[in-house]
Amino acid sequence: MQIPEIPTEREIERILDQAPSRKYRLIFSIMAYCGLRSCEVTKLKVTDIDLSQKKIRIRAETSKYNKSGDIFPPKWLLEELIDFILAHKRKIQWHNDYIFFSNLDSYRGHITTNSVRIYFRRTLKALGLLIKVGTWNKGANKNPKYKYSTHTLRHWFCSQVYRKTHDVYAVKEMARHSTVMASEVYIHTDYDHKKEIMSKVFASPNFEKQMLSERNAE
């Protein structure tokens, strides 16, 4: 089981502050605080926002595993999203109601996941967080592998859900994982919880007295 690299809360804040535009700051925020994949957030439409229920609907055709679901974003994030939609209403309509419209007016669609990846890396580079940790093969080519990627934002979301709930099934539900095994990896990212458990198990007064008694008897 490969444990993902999880950024700190301060690093997430810096990434959002350094985002190149309001559009990308909102995209990064939705990925970090709602757990959406880049393929899902780039294809969000106005009709996916349900104001009466205060939720975002993930359509099956945009999801990685063809799995629909509902996401309930924080109040501040939903308000920011609505404000962005109202501010860019005409452009969004021109681009077939895609909230995160293409930068090209000649293309009436959404931005690509590659655009999100490029601007995310530029943001990391500006912060000194674009750290190369190896390479990965794509056909005959070797591509650099970095410590953080756009999917890191989703990893951070999942790790936060587990740290706040200590419920792996909550992670599965919120992240829309197909199996609980995919969620179990985030158990290993909660180092504070591990320390807390160890302190409760091995730092009791009786245990300390026993250790001290054995040491004195030697």
pLDDT tens column, 27-60: 999 999 999 999 999 999 999 999 999 999 999 9
Average pLDDT over residues 1-19: 90
∠ CA 64-65-68 to the nearest 5 degrees?
95
Name the pTM for this structure. Answer: 0.84
Would you place residue 208 in the very low, low, confident or very high pLDDT band (cuts 50, 70, 90)? low
Helices (H), 19-112: 22-34, 38-41, 75-87, 89-94
Average pLDDT over residues 135-145: 79
* 97 φψ region: left (φ > 0), alpha (ψ -120 to 50), beta (else): left
Q: Does the pLDDT of residue 186 top 90, yes or no? A: no
Classify burial at 179, counting beta carbons within 10 Å of its beta carbon; exposed 0-12, middle 13-18, buried 19 or more: exposed
Write down the pLDDT at residue 156: 95
How is residue 45 written in tokens?
A: 């439409």
Average pLDDT over residues 195-206: 61
Q: Does the pLDDT of residue 65 top 90, yes or no? A: no
Would you place residue 213 in the very low, low, confident or very high pLDDT band (cuts 50, 70, 90)? low
What are all long-range contacts of 177-186, with beta carbons under 8 Å and residues at least 24 apart? 178/65, 178/67, 183/158, 184/1, 185/1, 185/2, 185/3, 185/4, 186/155, 186/158, 186/159, 186/161, 186/162
Q: Which of 87-91, 93-97, 136-140, 144-148 has the lowest mean pLDDT?
A: 136-140
Q: Which of 47-51, 109-113, 141-145 has the lowest mean pLDDT?
A: 141-145
Q: Identify the three-state secondary structure at position 195.
A: helix
* Residue of 13, 1, 6, 3 lying closest to 157 (CA atoms): 6
Amino acid identity of residue 78, one-letter, is L
CB 23 within 8 Å of CB 120: no
Distance, CA of 124 to CA of 131 (rounded, Å): 9
Q: Does the pLDDT of residue 190 top 80, yes or no? A: no
**List of domains in the chain:** 9-129 (1.10.443.10), 151-217 (no CATH)
Instruction: Please report, rounded to a whole number, the percentage of residues in the chain having pLDDT higher than 90.
Output: 63
Average pLDDT over residues 55-76: 91
Would you place residue 63 in the very low, low, confident or very high pLDDT band (cuts 50, 70, 90)? confident
